[in-house]
Chain A
Amino acid sequence: MQKAEAQIDDAQLVARLKQRDKSALADLIQVHGAKMYGVALQFMRNEYDAHEVMQDALISIWNKIGSFEGKSAFTSWIYRVTANAGLMALRKRKRHEKDVSLDATASGEDDEPLPALRLSDKSPLPDKVAMTDELGEQVRAAIDQLPEAYRTVVLLRDVQELPMEEVMEATGLSEPALKSRLHRARLALREALLPYLKGQDIQKL
């Protein structure tokens, strides 16, 4: 019988993983699997590839748990590992497709028009309770429509909040290229979400 989520705490999970207790991985899935799946799905956009990413993430967690020192929350660490697994999978897919856009520097991007993102519903703003759900859907839809190179930096930096250095390392982008790409991605998202931004204090949502 699987343990109830409330009975499994992260400190125990870490200790058991460090002791090479494989059943801790099963418990990890039980407790944090949904969020890891969300991260994997966000990168890969389909269940099949998300499954592969989950597997890669589990192997990474298993192999790297020794280097987890508890400086950040365990949850942040495992989502970061999952995000990195997602990024690696995207890079692998791109190499396979002989498309280097993920690795390309952003030179020249500044002159290109921002990608236009189309959201399904721009009806009058609903009340704040409904707004939370609708906003979530619209934000995810907008991110999903970003070109992959933009989407990747947004997911790593603004969603996962990885430090710039880690995003640079993961993407192979120089600092100016990363900043430029991130800025342009944010501008495209802002443009798409504008009807939902005006006059809304999101801190209160």
Chain B
Amino acid sequence: MSMKRIVGFFSHLLHPCDCGRTKKLLYEFVEGDLNSETSHRLEKHLGDCPSCLEYVKSYRRTIELTHCHCLPEKPMPDALKQKLHEFIEQNPDLK
């Protein structure tokens, strides 16, 4: 294992403040709401800290999964479809 990877692996122990900062600023970072200086500092920390990098990645994946997998098309029951057609025909608000 290279020295850089070893240092990176223990980064959260060497720089606990930046690890704490990552969690604290996670939402703003992912949403792109941070100013460039703070964002750059956080990115630098992510480059050194596999643990925080994985944390941020898993947060992003969660959002992506939520969007991609949440709403598959469900076949509408025929009875419901029939009721909706009757509703369209009969409802006085639909004129």
Indicate if B93 sits at the interface (CB-CB under 8 A): yes
Binds A, one of B10-18, B37-45, B65-73: B65-73
Interface residue count on the B side (C-beta < 8 Å): 34
Closest to A205 in B: B68
Tell me, in angstroms, the Cα distance from A201 to B89 when the chains sit together: 48
Indicate if A81 sits at the interface (CB-CB under 8 A): no
Chain A binding surface SS class: helix
| Pairwise interchain contact B74-A158, C-beta atoms closer than 8 A | no
Distance in Å from the Cβ of B77 to the closest Cβ of chain A?
7
Q: Which 7 A-B pairs have the closest CB atoms?
A: A136-B69, A34-B73, A183-B27, A190-B62, A139-B69, A158-B66, A197-B58
| Pairwise interchain contact B71-A22, C-beta atoms closer than 8 A | no
| Pairwise interchain contact A197-B61, C-beta atoms closer than 8 A | yes
Distance in Å from the Cβ of B81 to the closest Cβ of chain A?
6
Binds B, one of A55-63, A100-108, A121-129: A55-63
Indicate if B80 sits at the interface (CB-CB under 8 A): yes
Indicate if A85 sits at the interface (CB-CB under 8 A): no
Taking CB atoms and an 8 Å cut-off, the chain B residues in 2-57 that contact chain A are 26-27, 54
> Which residues does chain A contribute within 8 Å of B66, judged by CB atoms?
139, 143, 154, 158-159, 186, 189
Tell me, in angstroms, the Cα distance from A154 to B69 when the chains sit together: 13
Tell me, in angstroms, the Cα distance from A34 to B54 when the chains sit together: 36
Closest to B59 in A: A190
Indicate if B76 sits at the interface (CB-CB under 8 A): yes
> Which residues does chain A contribute within 8 Å of B83, judged by CB atoms?
51
Q: Which of B26, B27, B61, B94 contacts A200 (CB 8 A)?
A: B61
Pick the most buried of B61, B67, B73, B77: most chain A CB atoms within 10 A of its CB: B61
Chain B binding surface SS class: helix
A-B contact pairs, 7 of them (CB 8 A): A34-B74, A38-B74, A51-B80, A63-B93, A159-B70, A198-B58, A202-B61
| Pairwise interchain contact B87-A55, C-beta atoms closer than 8 A | yes
Distance in Å from the Cβ of B27 to the closest Cβ of chain A?
4
| Pairwise interchain contact B61-A37, C-beta atoms closer than 8 A | no
> Which residues does chain B contribute within 8 Å of A38, judged by CB atoms?
71-74
Q: A34-B74, A159-B70 are in contact. Are A29 and B94 (CB under 8 A)?
A: no
Closest to B87 in A: A55
Tell me, in angstroms, the Cα distance from A38 to B76 when the chains sit together: 9
> Which residues does chain B contribute within 8 Å of A155, judged by CB atoms?
70
Tell me, in angstroms, the Cα distance from A140 to B69 when the chains sit together: 7
Type the 1/0 row for A165-198, where 1 means its CB is closer than 8 Å to any CB of B.
0000000000000010011001101100110111
> Which residues does chain B contribute within 8 Å of A148, judged by CB atoms?
none
Distance in Å from the Cβ of A57 to the closest Cβ of chain B?
10
Q: Which of B58, B71, B73, B84 contacts A29 (CB 8 A)?
A: B84
| Pairwise interchain contact B94-A25, C-beta atoms closer than 8 A | yes
